[in-house]
């Protein structure tokens, strides 16, 4: 019998992914940051997939970018409220939401 999965490289990574996902969806700022990141990525995929003959995709791409911008604004507003409190500013939820927002700008 081998080591438990937590001691293997893949098992530990799976547990970290589970923890991160749980923390993202337990906080409103994290949810807004995740939706913003997903909307930006979907807009990139749709813009790369558009052809000259399909003009409707450009409007859909712009709508996705605008939706993502709105979620970024909401996430920043919620994080500013958290950063005003010293105990919430260093929480794992705040750190993960901040890193997701940083991913939106790349």
Residue 83 CA: distances (Å) to CA of 20, 52, 91? 20, 46, 10
d(CA 56, CA 29): 31
DSSP reduced 3-state for 106: coil
CB 41 within 8 A of CB 59: no
pLDDT tens-digit profile of 1-47?
Answer: 455 555 555 554 555 566 677 788 888 999 999 999 889 888 888 87
Q: How far is residue 47's CA from residue 67's CA, in Å, rounded to a whole number?
A: 15
Angle at 41 (CA atoms; ends 37, 47), nearest 5 degrees: 145
- Asked if 27 contacts 99 with a C-beta cutoff of 8 angstroms, the reply is no
State yes or no: pLDDT of 100 exceeds 70.
yes
Query: What pLDDT, in 10s, does the model give residues 42-72?
Result: 888 887 765 555 666 778 888 889 999 999 9
Please report the pLDDT score of residue 8 as a whole number. 54
- Position 2 scores a pLDDT of 54
* Of 2-6, 67-71, 84-88, 90-94, minimum mean pLDDT range: 2-6
- Check residues 2 and 94 and name the one with the higher pLDDT: 94
């Amino acid at each position: 019998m081998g080591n438990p999965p937590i001691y293997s490289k893949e098992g530990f990574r799976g547990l970290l992914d589970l923890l991160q996902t749980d923390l993202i969806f337990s906080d409103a700022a994290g949810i807004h940051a995740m939706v913003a990141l997903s909307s930006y990525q979907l807009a990139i995929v749709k813009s790369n997939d558009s052809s000259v003959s399909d003009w409707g995709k450009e409007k859909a791409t712009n709508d996705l970018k605008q939706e993502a911008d709105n979620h970024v604004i909401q996430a920043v507003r919620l994080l500013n409220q958290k950063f005003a409190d010293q105990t919430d500013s260093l929480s794992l939820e705040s750190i993960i939401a901040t890193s997701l927002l940083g991913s939106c700008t790349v």
